[in-house]
Structures are given as C-alpha cells and as structure tokens.
C-alpha cells in the first residue's frame, strides 16, 4: 500500500526503510551528530497550507524515531535542517537526484547544519535517499 | 586580521557558491590552522562544474574571501570537473603535520588518477602551486 507524501504514515515507513538498509547501517554508524529534519515547503495548490517538517532521530546507523509536524519552527531544534519544495522532494523520493548534487544546484537547501560533517557522510546521505526510494509513495500531484 | 567569507551580490542564487562559502567558513571556524591559511591566501580561483553548467570564482584577498557566481576576472587557477569530483576534492586527506594533501590518501589518489584521465582538469596549478595547495587545505573536510 502506498503512503501519501508527506504524512506520518510515510514518515514511519521511511524510518523502517532506513533501519532495513544495510548500507545506511554501515555508512551511518559513525554518525553521532544529531537529528536530521527535512522540510517540505508549503504549497496551497497541493493542499499544503503550512511547511511540513519530518524529523528523523538518526544515530549510529539507526533511525530511532520519526515524526511529522507542521511548521518549520517545529524542527528548529534539529542540528541539520534541509528544505525544499514538494517537487524537489518528489525527485529525491523517486531517486532522480543525488542529494549532494541537488544541494550544489540549490534544489535542496541546508538551512541549518555543519556542511563539512554532511560532506563527510555523503555515502550515508545517499543511503538515506535509497531508503526513501523503497517507500511505496503516492504523491499529491498525481 | 580575522578572515571573513562573503557572497557577492547574486551569488546566493548559485547553490554551489553558497555551499562553497559555507564549507570554507565552517572549516575555518573549526580549525585554527585552516583559518590561518585562509588569512594568507591571495589569488583568484575559478571552479567549473561541468555536468551542472555551474561555475564560481573565489577571490582571496589576504583574509577576505568573496565568492562570485560565474567566472569573474582572469583566474590564477581554474578547476573544471564534474560535480562528483568537486565533491570528492573536499574529501582529500591532508597529512597532519603541515595540512598539505596526503599523496598516500585513498581519495587523494583517486583525484590524482581522475586528473590523469582528464576527468579533472586544472589550469594554472603549476604557476600557482601554493594557491592550489592552500585551496585544498581550506576546502578539505577530511
């Protein structure tokens, strides 16, 4: 069954996909730098009247928790915050973009966080994206 | 003088420029040796991301770095490479004593081989060797 993006169901399924990903367990093992939040910018044409924020408590190759909340401010305590419009997240979930390349192009914006750390963990970022592609997803614009 | 990193007007629209500025700023904040190196750098470096059709110019003026969108002026040093290699160049290992690129490092050797194959092209590296080595030092996250 496909989970609508974004939703708590999708967020939970992503957490499960991350924890099932052997590559992420390996490459993410040294990650002790805190949670990563992914913010989908509001888009009233898609029924998103506010930014939707997904908070992933990733630690040592495991996702310990995942929550969805409304508003960018709800995840401002996360050490890393990545923001993009709906269409860009759709490309990420469909595996059409490399996360680091997307940041270079300005498609994904890291509005908070330590870039040198993120670059050191480029393979674990890619494993997170691969995990996202494993989640059966339905999109609001399809 | 405390080194500072600035984005030139318009460069904020270039994701690669904002990433590079953020990377050098955070690296300098984290490492006093990199900060000292940045304070000594003088010259103009162009980075061209061939697969994304993006470029930037780093203008080092002895403690003040300005990052421009596109190629501005006549660079002392130009590096042309696909995005994957620009990202890898920030992972080049440094030898601990002087912070110079470690030729025995795995990524350093990969980048060197990519240069031999023509995937990474550098212009002006011989004439501006100190600038090239210092650039590697202030951009490396390894």
Q: How confident is the model at residue B2 (pLDDT cuts 50, 70, 90)?
A: confident
What pLDDT score does B44 carry? 98
Q: Looking at the predicted structure, is the pLDDT value of residue A1 above 90?
A: no
- What is the Cα–Cα distance from A62 to A104, expressed in whole angstroms? 27
Q: Do B52 and A105 touch (CB under 8 A)?
A: yes
- Chain A, 101 to 120: residues with Cβ < 8 Å from chain B are 101, 103-107, 109-110, 114-117, 119-120
Complete edge-to-edge strand list for the sheet that includes strand B77-81: B4-7, B64-69, B54-61, B42-49, B77-81, B121-123
Instruction: For chain B, give the mean pLDDT.
Output: 94
Domains of chain B, by residue range, sit at 4-136
Predicted confidence at residue B96, as pLDDT, reads: 82
**B20 vs B18: CA distance, rounded Å:** 6
Give every strand in the sheet of A109-112, ordered side by side: A62-70, A52-59, A36-40, A80-84, A109-112
pLDDT above 70: percentage of residues in chain A = 100
Q: Which candidate from B13, B30, B86 shows the least CB-CB separation from A116?
A: B30
Tens digit of each residue's pLDDT (9 = 90 or more) over A78-131: 999 999 999 999 999 999 988 888 999 999 999 999 999 999 999 999 999 999
pLDDT score for B97: 80
Q: The whole model's pTM is what? A: 0.90
Residue B1, pLDDT above cutoff 80:
no
Could you say which DSSP state residue A73 is in?
Answer: G
Give the pLDDT confidence score for residue B99 in this predicted structure. Answer: 79
Count of pairs with CB atoms under 8 A, one residue in A, one in B: 52
Token pair 């080595």: residue: B133
By C-alpha distance, the chain A residue nearest B30 is: A116
Ordered domains of chain A (ranges, CATH)? 3-132 (3.30.1050.10)
Cis check: omega of the bond before B74, within 30 degrees of 0: no
- Using CB atoms, pick whichever of B14, B30, B87 lies closest to residue A106: B14
- Specify the CATH architecture of the domain B4-136: 2-Layer Sandwich (3.30)
User: Each residue of B95-129: b (16+ CB within 10 Å) or e?
Assistant: eeeebebbeebebbebbeebbeeeebeeebbeebe
Q: Which residues of B touch A114 (CB under 8 A)?
A: 26
pLDDT at B37: 95
Mean pLDDT score, A17-44 = 97
CA distance B121 to B50: 10
Tell the burial category of A34 from Cβ atoms under 10 Å away from its Cβ (0-12, 13-18, 19+). middle
Q: Cβ of A105 and B15 within 8 Å?
A: yes
Average pLDDT (A33-50) is 97
Contacting residues of A for B49, CB less than 8 Å apart: 104
For the residues A4-11, what does the mean pLDDT come to?
Answer: 96
Residue A13 has pLDDT above 90, yes or no: yes
pLDDT of residue B100: 83
Q: What ipTM score was computed for the predicted complex, to two decimals?
A: 0.88
CA distance B16 to chain A (A): 4
Residue B80 CB neighbours (<10 A): 18
User: What pLDDT does residue A127 have?
Assistant: 95
Q: Do A115 and B15 touch (CB under 8 A)?
A: no
Pair B103, A121: CB distance under 8 Å: no
Of A105, A106, A119, the CB nearest to B90: A119
B142 in reach of chain A (CB within 8 A): yes
Q: What is the pLDDT of residue A76?
A: 93
Evaluate if residue B59 carries a pLDDT over 90: yes
Answer yes or no: are the C-beta atoms of B62 and B42 closer than 8 Å. Answer: yes
Q: Give me the residue from A107, A114, A122 closest to B26, CB to CB.
A: A114
What is the predicted pLDDT for the residue at B115?
Answer: 93
Task: Read off the pLDDT of residues B60-112 as tens digits, 9 standing for 90 and up.
Answer: 999 999 999 999 999 999 999 999 999 999 999 998 887 788 989 999 999 99
Question: Looking at residues B16-39, what average pLDDT do you find?
Answer: 95
Chain B residue closest to A109 (CA)? B15
Query: DSSP per residue over A42-59, as a string?
Result: PBGGGTB-S-EEEEEEEE
């Amino acid at each position: 069954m496909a989970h609508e993006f974004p939703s708590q169901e999708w967020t939970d399924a992503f957490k499960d996909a991350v924890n099932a990903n052997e590559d992420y367990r390996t490459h993410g093992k040294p990650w002790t730098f805190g949670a990563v939040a992914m913010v989908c910018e509001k888009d009233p044409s898609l029924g998103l009247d506010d930014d939707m924020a997904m908070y992933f408590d990733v630690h040592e190759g495991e996702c310990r928790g995942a929550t969805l909340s409304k508003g960018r401010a709800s995840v401002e305590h996360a050490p890393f915050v990545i923001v993009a419009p709906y269409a860009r997240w759709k490309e990420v979930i469909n595996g059409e973009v490399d996360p680091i390349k997307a940041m270079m192009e300005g498609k994904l914006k890291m509005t908070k966080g330590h870039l040198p750390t993120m670059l050191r963990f480029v393979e674990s970022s890619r494993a997170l994206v691969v995990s996202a592609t494993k989640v059966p997803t339905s999109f609001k614009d399809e | 003088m405390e080194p500072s990193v600035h984005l030139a007007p318009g460069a904020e629209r270039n994701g690669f420029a904002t990433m590079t500025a953020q990377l050098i700023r955070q690296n300098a904040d984290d490492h006093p040796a990199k900060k000292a190196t940045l304070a000594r750098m003088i010259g103009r470096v162009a980075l061209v991301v061939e697969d994304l059709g993006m470029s930037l110019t780093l203008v080092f003026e002895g403690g003040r770095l300005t990052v421009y969108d596109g190629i501005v002026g006549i660079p002392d040093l130009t590096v042309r490479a696909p995005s994957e290699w620009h990202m890898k160049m920030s992972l080049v290992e440094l030898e601990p004593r002087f912070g110079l690129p470690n030729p025995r490092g795995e990524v350093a050797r990969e980048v060197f081989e990519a240069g031999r194959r023509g995937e990474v092209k550098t212009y002006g590296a011989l004439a501006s060797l100190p600038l090239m080595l210092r650039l590697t030092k202030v951009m490396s996250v390894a």
